[in-house]
Amino acid sequence: MRTDEPIDVAVLGTGGIGKRTLEHIEHEDDVTPVAVCDSGGVAVDLDGVDYCDLVAADGGAVAQQGGSEVAALPDGRSTDDSIADVIEVHEEVDAVVMALPNIPHSFIPDTVERFLDAGYSGVMVDVLKRSRVIDWLEEMEPELEDAGVTFVCGAGATPGFLTGAAAVAAQSFVEVEEIEIWWGVGIESAYEENRGTVREDIAHLDGYDLESVAEMSDDEIQEVLDEHDGRLEFHDMEHADDRLLERAGFCSADDVEVGGILDVTQDEKPTTTTVKVTGTTFDGTTATNTFQLDDETSMAANVNGPAIGYMKAGVFYNRNGIYGLHGPAELMPGF
């Protein structure tokens, strides 16, 4: 799926996902980042932000040097509300990639509302994980359609890439009985820039939730990791794959189970990422279709590649007058 014109993109967030998104865009001839922001800084250049410098800079768009804020980019500056600064140029932006934290739950829906209030009309893509956020976004769908916004939710790896794989694997069946998604991520060398993701994952452990981990210090987060020897194992997670697959009509959300292993002590994947879809074919056979990711593909490649691919699909939809909310099981990413 190819678009007819170049795509000017704003990237919200320069943590692990945001930086890797910018690195991936470097390989996309038809995509240009024109605005990039983090919690303390923003860089806007309608000819293209020099994202190579940004990726290499510690601290994102604004680096701290000697206690004072110094722009890490020639066209970057500090700001108290970086998202507002991006919204100011929304008419120049074809697509907004939200590489934002999922803490609190309302952060992504609130950000979408800000763009809608400003009159934005284009594409928005997120890599959210939590099932309950889908409900809020579905309530906003009439607003999205009225504004001419095409919103692709849960467009990373899981939900996203693996949700789409499950949707394809389900095509063999007339009835899907069960979908199991099992992922493995090793992030020793990328731990510092993925602290937000680790914090959010800890919220899936027994005894924790997003509200409690939001109040925890970095030292307390480290204590949890130490208690588990740096290896966190999850079962029956509240992951948006279930709601997105249900929304697309493949199965009930109760028939989807997501789990996995996060290891911060190594870069190698602690387990192979696998999707299993079990169902009944039209001729009465019960079978399981299995999809696996190669252990050598990195988390960044499996998150940010699909995010850009789903963004391209969203742009194709938007430029053809198709608006509203769409999940990764409802459309195929472009390349």
pLDDT in tens, 250-280: 999 999 999 999 999 999 999 999 999 999 9
Task: Identify which has the larger pLDDT, 1 or 328.
Answer: 328
Q: What percent of the chain has pLDDT over 70?
A: 91
Asked if residues 129 and 108 have their Cβ atoms less than 8 Å apart, the reply is no
Residue 153 CA to residue 125 CA, distance in Å, equals: 6
Residue 54 CA to residue 36 CA, distance in Å, equals: 9
pLDDT in tens, 180-239: 999 999 999 988 888 888 998 999 999 998 889 989 999 999 999 999 999 999 999 989
7-156+300-326 has CATH 3.40.50.720 classification = yes
pLDDT in tens, 21-67: 999 999 999 999 999 988 778 888 899 987 666 545 444 444 332 23
Who's near 301: CB < 8 A, 6+ residues apart?
Answer: 24
Residue 129 bears catalytic tag: yes
Active-site residue (options: 19, 24, 200, 269): 200
Residue 60 CA to residue 70 CA, distance in Å, equals: 11
Phi and psi at residue 245, to the nearest 5°: -70, -35
Residue 269 bears catalytic tag: no
**pLDDT, position 214:** 87
pTM of the model: 0.90
Active-site residue (options: 19, 24, 193, 204): 204
Active-site residue (options: 129, 239, 312, 326): 129
Answer whether residue 245 shows pLDDT above 80.
yes
Answer whether residue 1 shows pLDDT above 70.
no
Asked if residues 86 and 12 have their Cβ atoms less than 8 Å apart, the reply is yes
> Which residue spans of the chain are classified as CATH 3.40.50.720?
7-156+300-326
